[in-house]
Amino acid sequence: MRRLTCSILSVFSMILLGLFCFLFASCGDELTDDLQADFSTSYIFFSYSPELTESPDPVTISYPIGTRVPFSSLPSATTPAFFALKPGYKIDFWLYYKNPVTGSKDLPSNITCRKMTAGDGTEFDAIDSFTVASAPASFVVHEWLPVTYYVVLDGNGGTYTDAEGKVISQEKTAFSYDTSAALPTNKFVRNGYVHNGWARTSSAVPNTPEFKDSDVVLNLSNVEGSVINLFACWLKEKINISFEANGGSGTMATLEQVSVGDVLPACTFTAPVGHYFGSWTFTKSDGSIVNSYPDGATLTEANYPNENATFVAQWLLIPYTVTFDSQGGSIVPSQTVGWSTCATSQVATKTGYDFGGWYTDSACTSAYDFTTPVTADITLYAKWNIQSRTVNYDLDGGTGTVPASETIDFSSWPYTPAHTATKTGYIFDGWTASESEWSTEPVTFTAKWKPKGSIIGTIPAGIGVTYTATGMTFTVTSGNPPYQWIIDEAFASGGTDTLSISYTDYSSGTHLVFVCGSPGADGIFTAAFQFEVQ
């Protein structure tokens, strides 16, 4: 009844459109532009060819005259009038049907088409665009095609590696509406889990999946391009784990029905002497060895054996510390050695001493044997042998009861000899060592001498002095002879430019010397100075 009513209305609309067209044609060209601006033309779109069905479901759409309608703006399955007309299908192209008033099927000039090829190889003219004119037109769907939707299988914690080595966590597959097809066979793997089908949510109960692996599905969606996400359902793998002492003693019960998230028990085997428990290892069926399961380790997806396993105890040597006390020498780092293994000897240094090895006591009465296995913490002490050197003496012209050489050790350094010496005309002033730093090379101490007599202060210009073992000689180096020499206000000598004195002629203490020359061009030369006899 609805479709009959629609058909009557459509025919009535076409009659009205014909009358409008007649009026437009009789008014002439002067009114054309105004009519295009003020009026619209109704175009009819048939979902099926009226020649093939009694109910073609026509839809009438009005467009303002002069409007250009491109291909992208033509009605589609999502256009409200066509919506839900044929769920799961889409319109591929529109064909020109005819002028609903005149019945002509000739293509009007305001409508353009493009050549297309159907799936069976036949060609057809598809509407590309049209410019709305005053004359009506009708169109018909070329073909209704099933929509394409997509199913994305999500590993939901599982992955697989493709042929190019890329890790895949989701797999997308296209499906056509009204076509049954199987879901892709599961490729995802998840350590410690068994795949149990697919669900629409990631948190679905894995025991009751909505789809099993490779299930055939039909019409999961009727929307073009829509995506249906299915998440992998995983059941925990169950295995048994037994334990092997590997040199230890005792027994441990087998763990049954172990799964991801379970915690390993602490090792209760008795360790071999000198060892302690390190971790569990097991050898997989492919021959690879999995390490590092400490006491109380939680089984995770990363370390789950994924097969019945025998965990083998791995024992480590108890570590002991060997401490080296250098007893004042250079710092020697301590060593950590395993039970029943040997420490390595180290060398220390100490200024003034030779290293004498390591001992078990600070008094260094018991030498340590580095071939002895270590079974406890131990402290070793460095022994030091004091170094010595030969001391030689150089009297530098003096005499005395000084030994030719003698030996001293580092405890006496820096060394100051107690010996003295004598030298005529000089006073002994100690010893000068040839070096100040400690060495085991011989060292020579040289006697230091200072003259018995000496000038006090600075000797005047024009006067020189030389020293001998028994006295001093004063010399005038400028001025005019003859000269008169006076010592302690007593005439000492006259006529010469030199004056020699003997220390024995003068008492200890300070003495004044005055010298005077003859008048010359520069006047009379005079000079005065003091000397001291010790």
What does the pLDDT look like over 189-222, one tens digit per residue?
A: 999 999 999 999 999 999 999 999 999 999 999 9
- Residue range 337-366: average pLDDT? 96
> CA 343, 345, 348: angle at the middle one, nearest 5?
135
* pTM (predicted TM-score): 0.59
Torsion of CA 303, 306, 307, 308, to 10 degrees: 60
Of the candidates 422, 417, 387, the one whose C-alpha atom is nearest the C-alpha of residue 405 is 417
* Beta strands at 388-394 and 405-409: parallel, antiparallel or unpaired: antiparallel
Q: Looking at residue 18, what is its pLDDT? A: 42
* Beta strands at 388-394 and 443-451: parallel, antiparallel or unpaired: parallel
Q: Enter the DSSP assignment of 22.
A: H
Q: Which residues contact 207 (CB under 8 A, 6 or more apart)?
A: 196, 233, 235
> SS3 for 39?
coil
* Residues pairing with 46 in the sheet: 58, 140
- Residue range 491-513: average pLDDT? 90
- Residue range 58-73: average pLDDT? 93
By the 8 A CB rule, do 100 and 60 touch?
no
CA distances 460 to 195, 276, 405, 510, Å, are 118, 93, 45, 17
- Spatial distance between the Cα atoms of 388 and 11, rounded to a whole number of angstroms: 135
Does 30 score more than 70 pLDDT? no
Residues 69-78: contacts with CB under 8 Å, at least 24 apart = 69/129, 69/130, 69/131, 69/132, 70/128, 70/129, 71/127, 71/128, 71/129, 74/127, 74/139, 75/45, 77/147, 77/224
Does 246 score more than 60 pLDDT? yes
* Residue type at position 65: I
Q: What percent of the chain has pLDDT over 90?
A: 65
**12 falls in which pLDDT band (50, 70, 90)?**
very low
Helices (H) and strands (E) in the chain, counts: 2, 38
Q: Looking at residue 23, what is its pLDDT? A: 38
Does 29 score more than 60 pLDDT? no
> SS3 for 468?
coil
* Residue type at position 359: Y
Of the candidates 111, 116, 140, the one whose C-alpha atom is nearest the C-alpha of residue 126 is 116
Of the candidates 277, 243, 240, the one whose C-alpha atom is nearest the C-alpha of residue 257 is 240
By the 8 A CB rule, do 299 and 260 touch?
yes
Torsion of CA 282, 285, 287, 292, to 10 degrees: -20
* Residues pairing with 427 in the sheet: 450
Q: Looking at residue 17, what is its pLDDT? A: 40
Helix H or strand E segment including 2: helix 2-27
For the chain, give the longest Cα–Cα distance. Answer: 172
**112 falls in which pLDDT band (50, 70, 90)?**
very high
Helix H or strand E segment including 241: strand 239-244
320 Ramachandran zone, left/alpha/beta (phi>0; psi -120 to 50): beta
pLDDT digits (tens, 9 = 90+) for 122-153: 999 999 999 999 999 999 999 999 999 999 99
Cis, bond preceding 482 (omega within 30 deg of 0): yes
Q: Looking at residue 15, what is its pLDDT? A: 37
Q: Which residues contact 30 (CB under 8 A, 6 or more apart)?
A: none
Q: Which residues contact 111 (CB under 8 A, 6 or more apart)?
A: 96, 127, 129, 130, 137
Chain mean pLDDT for the chain: 88
- Spatial distance between the Cα atoms of 134 and 36, rounded to a whole number of angstroms: 8
Does 21 score more than 50 pLDDT? no
Joined together, the tokens standing for residue 421 give 């010496």
Does 2 score more than 50 pLDDT? no
Backbone angles phi and psi of 104, in degrees to 5: -70, 135
Place of tokens 């025991």: 207
- Spatial distance between the Cα atoms of 49 and 101, rounded to a whole number of angstroms: 17
* Residue type at position 26: S
**244 falls in which pLDDT band (50, 70, 90)?**
very high
Q: Looking at residue 480, what is its pLDDT? A: 76
- Spatial distance between the Cα atoms of 422 and 429, rounded to a whole number of angstroms: 10
Residue with more model confidence, 531 or 291: 531
**416 falls in which pLDDT band (50, 70, 90)?**
confident
Q: Looking at residue 371, what is its pLDDT? A: 96
Q: Looking at residue 52, what is its pLDDT? A: 83
- Spatial distance between the Cα atoms of 19 and 496, rounded to a whole number of angstroms: 167
- Spatial distance between the Cα atoms of 304 and 287, rounded to a whole number of angstroms: 16
- Spatial distance between the Cα atoms of 476 and 498, rounded to a whole number of angstroms: 6
Q: Looking at residue 38, what is its pLDDT? A: 57
Residue with more model confidence, 356 or 523: 356
Q: Which residues contact 152 (CB under 8 A, 6 or more apart)?
A: 170, 171, 172, 173, 227, 228, 229, 230
Joined together, the tokens standing for residue 488 give 């302690």
- Spatial distance between the Cα atoms of 21 and 137, rounded to a whole number of angstroms: 12
